[in-house]
Amino acid sequence: MERDTRFPLRIRDTELKEGHTSLMRISFDLFNAFLKCPTKCWLRAAGESTTGNAYAEWVKSQNESYRATELERLLPEIPKGTVAVSPPLENLKGAGWRLAANLAVHARMKIHLLDSDLHAVERAPFESRGGPSQLMPIRFVFTNILGDDDKLLLAFDAFVLSKVTGHEIGFGKIIHGDDHRTLKVNTTILYGEVQKSIERAAALLSSRKPPDLVLNRHCRECEFQTRCREKAIEADDLSLLSGMSEKERKKLRSKGIFTITQLSYTFQPRRRPKRMLDRKEKYHHSLKALAIREKKIHIVGRPELKIEGTPVYLDVEGLPDRDFYYLIGLRIGNGDSALHHSLWADTAADEEKIWREFLDIVETVEKPLLIHYGSYETAFLKRMGERHGKPPEGSAAAEAVKAAVNLLSVIYAHVYFPTFSNGLKEIAGHLELREQRS
């Protein structure tokens, strides 16, 4: 029987004598992809061509560089002659090394073949004489802040290693960030979740059809982003509405509503009772869908924005995974006389410097009013005050930080743009196109 080339990771184990049992290979790469997005996992397994993603490539290169650097840093701490690079698995239990780097392991779980490339494995003598030595997998992650899945990925390494050795691997280590922080993880309590994820991934990959497409937060850092978005637009899929939760989509599907166009016809304008006028306006996904279908901006109520003083428009860029802000952009005033400032931090050590420069600039403005878009800048102002010190109480900068205006909170549930999200770039693109047409 010929191998299905569309699914290169589904293999036939010729060594088995159990009626030519077919094994499903679940690699670390596929397991990781499955945790992020089932569609991504399926597309990778199917060998689907990618459309590229600069951020995904950058993350990959950073992790590879960090892995190599951390291994080099650890080696001098290990006694000479007790380090092995890519050692064979045949004598894994009785090997004499203290630290093994780049260890490729393969194991079988039921009808699944599991693969993982362990960054490193540390060996410690067992407490009792004659007992097996304790192995502890190590994974290197370049970010200062660990993600939700990092512990589960380490548990996958430990799970595969336990299958190879025949002994439970109780703990693992994650070394991460600029300060080489070490987190010891109890991997055994995660084995149940690992096994369930392996089973679900295997069931997914056994199908010749991809799962139902659902756009999610991981899309922006995925190499299949362009491909999936094009298909979602073609299908007019509800997941294009970034503000809609999976629970809300499921509820709509139970009512026979599967597309944005269908949703748009469900909007029913209603006059608010006087007793409700002071309450916060409810967000209507159906009105958002109507705005997209009609290509018109819809306004609910009377949103007001009072600018008393000199507007100081704030835009911040940073690396959330590294907990580091590298750019503060300021535009002071309006029109041709507006002043622009770009404050750059080349390293995390420069972050305090640009924060101080920012406060000094705001202090020179007459009645400054900070205006930004979204919660990212709100979090920035709070964290910088906690991390590097707040401006003096009563100063112009202190009052500006306290009274900062989030434009998104002004338009939310009041102004519905014909865009899939309320992202600033997407709205700006629509307004620019609108101006060109007029």
Residue boundaries of the structural domains of the chain: 10-205, 220-299, 310-410
One-letter amino acid for residue 256 of the chain: G
CATH topology assigned to domain 10-205:
Lambda Exonuclease; Chain A (3.90.320)
pLDDT for residue 272 = 67
378 is written with which tokens?
A: 């709100």
Measure the CA–CA gap between 91 and 98, rounded to whole angstroms: 14
Q: What is the DSSP letter of 237?
A: B
Segments of the chain scoring below 50 in pLDDT: 1-21, 127-128
Q: Quick one: how far is CA 269 from the chain centroid?
A: 37
- Pair 378, 404: CB distance under 8 Å: yes
Which residue bears the tokens 């029913």?
Answer: 268
pLDDT for residue 266 = 96
The pTM assigned to this predicted structure is 0.82
379 is written with which tokens?
A: 């979090």
3-state SS assignment for residue 377:
helix
Task: Compute the C-alpha angle 82/88/90, nearest 5°.
Answer: 110
pLDDT for residue 4 = 36
Count of all residues that appear for the chain in the document: 438
pLDDT for residue 184 = 96
The CA–CA distances, whole Å, from 51 to 56, 221, 223, 382, 436 equal 11, 12, 6, 37, 29
**pLDDT digit string (tens) for 125-178?**
654 455 556 899 999 999 999 988 999 999 999 999 999 888 899 999 999 998
pLDDT for residue 203 = 93
pLDDT for residue 128 = 46
